[in-house]
Structure formats: structure tokens, C-alpha cells
Structure 1
Amino acid sequence: MAGTTPRYDICRHCQERFPQASGPGRKKEYCSVKCRRKAQRERDGRLGRQQARSALPMGRRIAEDLQALSAALLEAEYDGRSLKELLRCASDVAREVEYYMTAAVQDARNTGASWDQVAEAARVSTTTARTRWSEGRVKERLQRRATQRAAVRQPVTPSVEGLDPMREQPLSQAAKLASALSHLHRASDLTIREVAEHLSVSPSYVSRILSGERTPSWTVTCSLVQLCGGDPAELSVLFESAHGLVPPGRHAIPDAVARLQAALQGLHLAAGRPELEVIRKASRGMLSSQAISEILAGEMVPGWEQTSALVTALGGWPADLRPLWESVHYTFLLCLDPEEGPRQLPDAYPEST
């Protein structure tokens, strides 16, 4: 209509004024197709960054694989393998450490860390940080790692029929606790609803505990174990490890021995309480059935080679129980000579600080 004042709006991308179309229908938000496409690309970029921030950090996934490779190196040491094998395992660890550093920097950048902050953390110049961990180099390295994964040997727990689960990688501490609770529950013939009614919790909560989705409190753990006919003491160390609790480093001899025994019994329970003969086979002949029976019953305090063999046969990490074993022997030696004990301990048992 003649004499009508044209209507103008502000472009959402370039912020410039543009004449808005008159009449019915959806109004334009951008001054041109070019601005609309640029805005779309920016939205896609922001979404990608948000997804990168919300996803599981790359560094964490690589750190989990690094733990497995480190355990393989430790196991090779325990087994007394050749220098060639030890160096191969060490090379695997060193390579994964480099990939971890790359992923950790990328994770930090995804969460907003500046290049100055990255440089300070890595103790290099900002220019070096930008060059070493540029987007192109990070993508190239992680792609190279992905193609190498099939060639990297992972620690494999010996497969022995009847020992379930015998896994490619030992379970996490929380998963071990869940596995032990689940075994007790299955052996009790109680339904999840019956357990929930006794514990005054919901059936879904019990189900999440048994599946490992939730880690229960000690009160709930004790009640569940007792209800299923088990001994809470056997799960005490598993519970502490699952919650990341660090107990005092020094114990009286009976307490230190009891904690080591509880840890071994907990692993036995988490593995589904396999028969002695099954464990003996999984230990590669390093343990006799009688020795296994005496260790699990608390009638014998094992040496480190026996402890390591038993832990590995039950699907655990020997390194996880090393502090408990050292605590037993440290306390024992200290009691033999309370004044001279700390100075006479071998290097394998350094005094805790």
C-alpha cells in the first residue's frame, strides 16, 4: 500500500538492519541466505563443543587402558619373564602415556583451558604447547592410536573353565563389590523384592546395587550380606576400595592379617567362590589346593609370590593388595625388633609417612 512505512528487523547473525517482508507467514531472522548459513555453522560448532565437554573425557578412557598395560608389566615382573618381554611391556606403557598426555590436553581445551594454562601445566612455552598439541596433531595421534589398538597386547587373565568371571581385564573395585553381593544374593534364593522389603528400600535400588550401578553404604552392605547369609567382614576391604577409603597404614598384627584375609576372601566371593582345583589351575601351578584352602581360611599368611598368584587367579590386580601384604610383614618385622625394625626393613617395605 502506498505510503506505508517499511518494517525493518535486526539480522541475528550480522546485527545489521534489513527490510522485513510484509504479509502473512514466518518472518525472516537473517538478512540473507549467507548470514543464515553462517549462523547454522556456528550453532553446529557450539553443539559439537558441548558434546565434547559432556562426553566421557578421552584421557580417562586412555588412563583405564594405561592401568591395564601397567598391570601387564607388573605381572611380567612377577612371572620373571625375559628382558625382551619386560621392555616390550614397558614400551607399550610409554607409548600409551604419550597418548594420554595428548588426550588430557585436548580434554582441558574442550573445557575451556587457555593455551597459557596448558603451557604452564606442561612446563613449556605457549608457542610449544600450541604446536605440540594443535588440533591437527591431536587428531592425527589419536587416529594413529585407534589403528594401533588391535596390535597392542592387553593383559589377559588365564581362561579356566568354571572360574566365572575370568575376564580380559579385572573388574573395578566397585564392580568387585557388586559381584560379591550378587553372588551372595543368588546363593540365598531370595527375590529382589524380598531383599528390598527386609532392607526397607525399593526393589529398583537393590537391583542397581547388584548390577553395580549404585555403591551402597556400609549399613546397607552389612544388612544385605547378613540377610543373604554372608559375613560382612569378608567384604570390608572391597567396600573400602569401592568407596575410595584409605585406612590407616599401620595395624596390629591380628588386624593386619585379618584385613589381608578379608581382601582375599572378598576377591574369592567376587569371583563366585570357585572350587580350589579351579583356582589351582588358574594360578598356573604356583599354588596347591591345600595352600589355597589354608590361605582363604586364614590358617596361613602367604608370601608375596603366593599372594600375587592367588589374586591373579581370582581376577584381581596384585598391585591392589600389595599395601595390605606389606602392612602384615612390616608390622610383623616391627614387632620382632620395635627399636631397630624401621631401619632394618628391606627396600620393598619403606616406612609409611
Structure 2
Amino acid sequence: MAGTSPRYDRCRYCKERFAQTSGPGRKKEYCSIGCRRRAQRERDGRLGQQRTRSALPLGQGIAEDVQALSAALLEAEYDGRSLMELLHCANELGRELDHYAAAAVQDARNRGASWDQVAEAARVSATTARTRWPENRVRERLEQRAVQRAAVRQPSAPLVEGTDPADPGGGRPLSKAAERASAKLASALSHLYRASDLTIREVAEQTSLSPSYISRILSGERKPTWPVVCSLAELFNEDAAELSVLFESAHGLVPPARHAVPDTMARLQAVLRGLHLAAGRPQPGVIRQASHGALSARTISEILNGEMIPGWEQTSALVTALGGSPADVRPLWEAVHYTFLLCLDPQEVPRPLPAARPATD
């Protein structure tokens, strides 16, 4: 129809008026192909940013499991377990490391890394990187891993012996490290109780706790809360800080990864003094005999008094002589020495730490 006036709409991108098509079919939303392409690019960019912001790092949870498996392997090594058990731990750790590599690559890709950048980081060709870590295969692999681990971690309905009744997960088995720390905490509190000459009833009255609950704490049947530990330590004229690391380990609490130098050293000293207390505070000469001469009485006194920072061989020997597990203390010892390395002037030649001096006496 020659007399029909054209219909106008506004472009969704540039907002300019344009003549709309009058024929059948879908109406145009943009005035030109250029506006349509620019709008599409902006939409893709916004979606990519939202996806990157909303997605949690895939590698983070796997890295935590790698840390736990590494600790289990170290514990097995210190316990002198069979080669079969050691290799089993190593194989599990290796599988998790492979999963972590795939997750880390996917995280990098989600953040916008190109295959060339991935290849450079992995020191392989871009073709190899694409073949090794394609997104669909990585996603499928991590989904299978999640299903397998969920099946392994599925808690049983009833509480069983060796589980933590205070655990909100219900029936989750305690780690061996937590079991050891719980036993040492009970032993330390029991030693303080025996040295106090108080009766169970007197302790209960002065702490407003029931005698049966006190008995279960001292026997290791129940794990006390931190306020209870503080109340008992105060009653027994003991510094609760000496028991803080044992308490944290017994409850599976993870402290902040980084501490100031004094805090890091205090934590190491606290766990060593806590183990000393749990052993009944034996004299340095008795500990020296238990270490089979690996430590002198003077070195033992200096370590327990906080006058020197022990090397790992000395720390391991002391912990073993006190009936503890070196694998449980190793992370604290490493944190102390790592903190010292950070404090060294990089322009200077690193000087030996006090821990490096040999034990003499």
C-alpha cells in the first residue's frame, strides 16, 4: 500500500529510531547488524563476569583434602607402618594431586586464562593442555570424585565407639591425632587433679559441675569445653594456655594459618609443655633416659622453659620421650621456622637459628 506510513521502533542498543520492517516474520530489535553484535558482546561479557564471581574455586576444597592426606602419610611414616599402608597413602595423595591440577586449570580458565597461558604455566604445549584438561572432562571427573567422597564420608546413624558425640555431623569418626590429643588433655587434667589433693566432690562444688561429669573428663570419657578447661586450670593453679593447643587438637579446631612470631613460638611451647604435663611433669633426667640420650638434661630444661627453639630432631626426640606423636607437632614446628625465615633480611646470609646448635651437657 503506497499510502501506508512506515512504522518506527527504537534500537535496543543505541536507542535511536529506525524504520521497522513491515513484512512477516520476527521484528528487528536493532537498527543495524553492528548494534546487534555490540549488544551480544556486552551480554557475553556480563555473563562471564557473573560466572567468575559466583563460582567458588574448585581447587580450594581439594587442596584442603591434599593437606589432610599429606598429614596422614606423615603420620604413617612416623608410626612405622608397613610398606603397603605407606604406598596406599601415597597413591591416594597422588590421585588427589591430579584432581587438584585439573581443578586449578579450570579455575584459571573460569577467570579468563587462555590455553596458551595454561600451557605456559604447566610447561606443556597448548594442544596438550587442551587435550589433558578439557572443560567437559574436568567437570565429569570432579563430579565423580564428589560422589565417591560423599559415599565414603556418609556418617552412620548411631554413634559408635571412637566418635565425637559433640560433633554436629553426628557419628563422624575422630581422627587419630584428635584421639591422641584428647587422651593427653585428659591425662594433663588428671595429673593436675591428683597434685591438688582435692576430692572429686570438692572440684565439682568449686566449678559448679557435677561429680560424674568431672570424673568422665578426668578419665577421658568426655571432652571438656574451653570454659571448663579454664575453670579447672584456675582451680588447680595452672595456666590454661599450657593446655590450649591440646584442647584445639582434641576438638579438631584449626587455628589461623599465620601468626605473629611470639604467638607462633608460644603455641609450640604450649604443646610441648602440655605434653610434659600430660606425662606427669617428669624431671629432665628422666626424659633424657626416655630419649635414649638423644637430648641432654640441660637442653630439655631450656626447651621446656622457652629458652631455646629446638631443631626438628630435638623436637621429635622430646615429643617421643613424653609419649606424644611427632607427626602431630610437626606443623607447629614448621610454622615457627617458616616465620623466622620470613623475618630474615634477604640481603643477609641466613644465620643458623638457635635450634641448630647441638645439644651439649
Taking structure 1 as the reference length, what is the TM-score of the superposition?
0.51
The 3 A distance-change label for structure 1 pair 301 and 94 is closer
Cα 1:309–1:280 change in 2 (3 A) is same
Instruction: State the 1:94 CA deviation.
Output: 4.6
Counterparts of residues 263-342 of structure 1 (less than 5 Å): 263-337=271-345
In the alignment, what sits opposite 1:204? 212
Q: Is it true that 1:217 corresponds to 2:217 in the alignment?
A: no
Aligned length: 200
Provide the rounded CA distance (Å) in 2 between the counterparts of 1:338 and 1:289.
35
- Whether contact under 8 Å (2:178, 2:252) holds in the other structure is no
1:229 Cα offset (Å): 1.5
Give the counterpart of 1:177 among 153, 167, 185. Answer: 185
Question: Which residue, 134, 148, 173 being the options, matches 1:121?
Answer: 148
Residue aligning to 1:250: 258
Question: How far does residue 250 in structure 1 lie from its aligned partner after superposition?
Answer: 1.2
The Cα of 1:201 is off from its aligned counterpart by: 1.0
Amino acid at match of 1:335: C
The letter for the 1-side match of 2:256 is P
The structure 2 residue matched to 1:91, chosen from 83, 87, 104, is 83
CA apart distance, 1:96: 7.8
* Separation in structure 2 between the aligned mates of residue 92 and residue 265 of structure 1, nearest angstrom: 35
Higher mean C-alpha deviation, range 277-286 or range 304-313: 277-286
Deviation per CA, 1:247-272: give whole Å up to 9, x if none: 01211111111110000000001111
Q: Distance in 2 between matches of 1:213 and 1:339?
A: 54
Determine the structure 2 residue equivalent to 1:73. Answer: 77
What percentage of residue pairs aligned between the two structures are identical?
Answer: 67
Give the residue type in structure 2 aligned to 1:216. Answer: P
Instruction: Give the unaligned 5+ runs of structure 1.
Output: 1-66, 77-88, 101-116, 123-168, 342-353
> Shift in Å at residue 305 of structure 1?
0.5
Q: Which residue identity is paired with 1:121?
A: Q
Secondary structure of the equivalent of 1:172? Answer: helix
Amino acid at match of 1:326: E
Aligned residue identity for 2:225: S
Q: 1:222-233 counterparts in 2 under 5 A?
A: 222-233=230-241
Name structure 2 gaps, 5 residues minimum: 1-70, 93-143, 150-176, 350-361
How far apart are the structure 2 equivalents of 1:305 and 1:231?
28
Spell out structure 1 runs of 4+ moving beyond 6 A. Answer: 67-70, 95-98, 338-341
Correspondence 1:46-61 to 2 at 5 A? none
Query: Cα distance 1:280–1:289, how it changes in 2: closer, same or farther (>3 A)?
Result: same
Could you say which structure has the larger radius of gyration?
2
Cα pair 2:73 2:86 within 8 Å, conserved = no
Question: Is residue 271–residue 314 contact of structure 1 (8 Å, CA) maintained in 2?
Answer: yes
CA distance in 1, matches of 2:319, 2:282: 13
C-alpha deviation, 1:226, in angstroms: 1.2
Partner deviation per Cα, 1:135-182 (whole Å, 9 max, x = no partner): xxxxxxxxxxxxxxxxxxxxxxxxxxxxxxxxxx99611111000000
Partner of 2:282, secondary structure, is coil
In 2, Cα distance between the equivalents of 1:200 and 1:94? Answer: 48
Kindly state the Cα deviation for residue 321 of structure 1 after the two structures are TM-superposed.
Answer: 0.6
Give the Cα separation in 2 of the matches to 1:283 and 1:92: 29
Residues 193 and 311 of structure 1: is their aligned pair in 2 closer, same or farther, counting only changes over 3 Å? same
CA drift of 1:337 comes to: 3.6
- Paired with 1:181 and 1:207, the residues of 2 have a C-alpha distance of 11
Q: TM-score, normalised on structure 2?
A: 0.50
Once residues 170 and 277 of structure 1 are traced to their aligned partners in structure 2, the CA distance between those partners, rounded to angstroms, is 29
